[in-house]
Structure 1
Amino acid sequence: DAKRRNVYVMNLDGTGRTKIADNGRDPCWSPDGKKIAFLGNEFERLDLEAWATKGLFIHDLESRTTREHPHPKIEHLYTMAWSPCGRWFVATVHGGMGFEHAIIAIEVDGPGVHNLKLQGCRPDLSSDGTRVTWGFGDYRIGLADLDLAGSPPAAKNIRALLTSPEPLMTYHMAWSPDGRYVAFSRGPQRPGKSLKGLFAQCPGIEAPGWDLCIADTSKENRWVRITRDGKSNKEPEWVPAPPKK
């Protein structure tokens, strides 16, 4: 298992880890928390290229069954999110499905695929599904309004949330549960220390000088760094706060 990616589910404290898929990656939860979608690896061997995926699968946690998405040719997706309405996946595609590079919306239960016409990669959706943030190039984070109920789905009011002075890049955006903030990784553009000479922003690659930051979505270029040791701090996720007693 050390030579390929697998998909697991576990408790928040790390206990109860259970494998749900061999040779899979990029999992995301359904909005009701009952299913996990994930991408299949394109190759049996370990490959750290973000786009080296083939197939989309949905695992039901209660029945412990997995089904493949009905689209006949899903490939080269990465950084997939399941929309809060439950009807769409939003992901980056690179060199596959008839696209050179795009952020697309994919029907969860059908064959529909729509180009959201956002320049960049790695989208993440707000908890109400009305906004999207993504890597608007290496040094900018994008913010747009998202209409997934439209025909076709579309991104509107496209703007920059922040711009980072070179050479410090911005990657791995994650919305806060209340929709007020976006967490992200920020660090220098240089090869990582491990495996194939891939760059530091790639998952699984050491990233000296990278730290986590939080941006205020109500105003452009209002953000703060929250880690300061530069010890490969990247790919943040939020944990919802427990209800107040």
Structure 2
Amino acid sequence: MTNFRDKVVIITGGAGGIGKVTAEKFLDQEAKVVLVDLFADQLAQTKEELKPRGEVHIIQADVSNEEDVKKYVRETVDRYGKIDVFFNNAGIEGKVAPITEQNVEDLDKVLAVNVRGVFLGLKHVLAVMKDQGYGAVINTSSVAGLHGSPGVTPYIASKHAVVGLTKATAIEFAPYNIRVNSVHPSPANTRMMRSLEAGMGIDEATLAKSIPLGRYGEAPDVANLVLFLADDKSDFLTGGQYRVDGGMGAL
């Protein structure tokens, strides 16, 4: 399959986890992939690992900094002339503690990446897509963006905000042939989940029991959904929240 041949795809949070695996899948379908991440060393290592699959360009950037966001958008357009797909994926989990033990700094740290970072990416990528008259955007939220959970209030709030950003921009940019959707993973086998497990004092086997299918999600589960939403075959889907959660949302 080469549905993405010569398509230009930006992936934030692209140096590892879901971002990296999604990049692999786009490269396997002959896309040109731009990976954006805060961690330059990890980005460089990921590029070396992915180079045999196809064309990979890396940009070190802080998604919460508007000048950095302008940089990764401008550099992509200068290099390739367009942005076909934007996987707005960067995020952090934040502190695990009751709200009574969270402070404003804990809240602001999470919102800076998970909300301001998503907002800024949308602001600057959608401007390019509007001018070119097409595009597909996929924002990473979480099952936490669709319901509540104790101990991670800033994270829950941030992922609910991603839903609002998705719905608002989907309506605003539909007239320009631009689609915006969000994906909502369950707990998945990523570095972020290891951190959350440690903070909650719970292991994978125990937490997996809360998932009807009885296991954590894997990065390819999410990546497959992202590619579906990015594909022209899903060109009547916008403003939606798509769960990849092993049935958690049905509980």
- TM-score, normalization: structure 2? 0.31
Quick check: which one's strand share is greater?
1
More relative contact order, 1 or 2 (CA 8 Å, 6+ apart): 2
